[in-house]
Amino acid sequence: MTPIPITVFTGFLGAGKTSLILSLLPRLPKDYKVVLLKNEFGDVEVDSKLAQQSSLAAVSEILNGCMCCVLVGQMQNALLEIRDKYRPDRILIECSGSAFPATLAFQIRQLERDTAGDFSLDGIVTVIDAENFVGYEDTSPTAKMQASYSDIILVNKWEHVSERALDIVMDHLHTLNDLTPKIKCQRKTGVDPELIFGLQSKLFMLSDLETNQSSDPVVHDEVETITVFRGGSLQHNSAHNHHEHEEQLLDVVDSPIEKDKLMEALHTLSRDCIWRAKGFVKLSDGTWWIINWAFGRYELTEYGGLDIPGLVRITVMGSRGEVRRSTAKFAEALGSIMVA
């Protein structure tokens, strides 16, 4: 039986991984079955809700933390379940923005061996945010490692920068990784699947792990996450501390949230220390909206589901030690509280 190819997408917070993955789908044959395995950072499965509205055969969610560290076993179980339930033509794994894919890739290699070749690591694709890469590259070892260990680098959001700024980004990427092909994504249409599928990756072979046991220099603590929360109760998980607890919180009784008030609140987030905010807000007209904010740019997408408790559920991610202070005005504007 033909092995199930696995393509791993990595890239820093807000690089545009989910949008890029979803843009691939219309370019695939109608009978081509794809399953997306997502590693969500925080408690709010925003990107998975978006993906569920696409033509994907299924979306499997792993919530909280970094797939490459604490959830490796869960990832393997998810892959086996996907194989047994769907037998897809391809599995796409979208890593959280703070994930360096070495441990994840080695686990897929181990799964290749344990299943007698029923899976195959086809490629590791790194998505780069051209507008912000030079800034967060200076402060994030993970961002550098993501660009350094990849089969393909996709340069996203390049249309938002000048030719000179794009040249600087490309120079930085060539310095980090001069051998890996670099492809500019074509705005909303993304990239041709033929360019990133069928790579038959040679990265992270098990022989590499056996000869170099210290080959995974992952920095796990550069990203801090908090939840901005209003209404109901919040099931809150802490991935790196390996424990779970429930926050029972009183509803905040004040005026409903108007759309203009929401947009004003989003403008209070500082792109210097807040890298990503995503979640759900219920507006005064009763509609739910998905918030997708990254480095000062944001999108609001109406969500028709009825499965979100409370009024506000937003995960905010940024530089460790700065997130709570920098999110305070945002939470206050939405009549919400912050839960670490």
Give tens-digit pLDDT for 235-244. 554 444 433 3
Give tens-digit pLDDT for 120-165. 999 999 999 999 898 777 767 888 888 888 999 999 999 999 999 9
Average pLDDT over residues 22-29: 88
Q: Would you say residue 214 has pLDDT above 90?
A: no
Residue type present at position 241: N
Cα–Cα distance measured from residue 110 to residue 104, given in angstroms and rounded to the nearest whole number: 10
Q: Grade residue 209 by pLDDT with cuts at 50, 70 and 90.
A: low
User: For residue 146, what pLDDT is reported?
Assistant: 87
CB 143 within 8 A of CB 136: yes
User: For residue 70, what pLDDT is reported?
Assistant: 44
Residue type present at position 27: R
pTM over 0.85: no
Grouping H, G, I as helix, E, B as strand and the rest as coil, residue 10 is strand
Q: Would you say residue 255 has pLDDT above 70?
A: no
User: For residue 204, what pLDDT is reported?
Assistant: 83
* β-sheet bridge partners, residue 130: none
Token pair listed for 237: 């998980």
Looking only at the bridges linking them, the beta strands covering 182-184 and 297-303 are unpaired
**182 or 36, which is more confident?**
182
CA distances to 164, 166, 171, 278 from 184, in Å:
15, 10, 14, 25
Cα–Cα distance measured from residue 290 to residue 89, given in angstroms and rounded to the nearest whole number: 30
Cα–Cα distance measured from residue 131 to residue 184, given in angstroms and rounded to the nearest whole number: 13
CA distances to 55, 106, 299 from 123, in Å:
22, 13, 29
Q: Would you say residue 211 has pLDDT above 90?
A: no
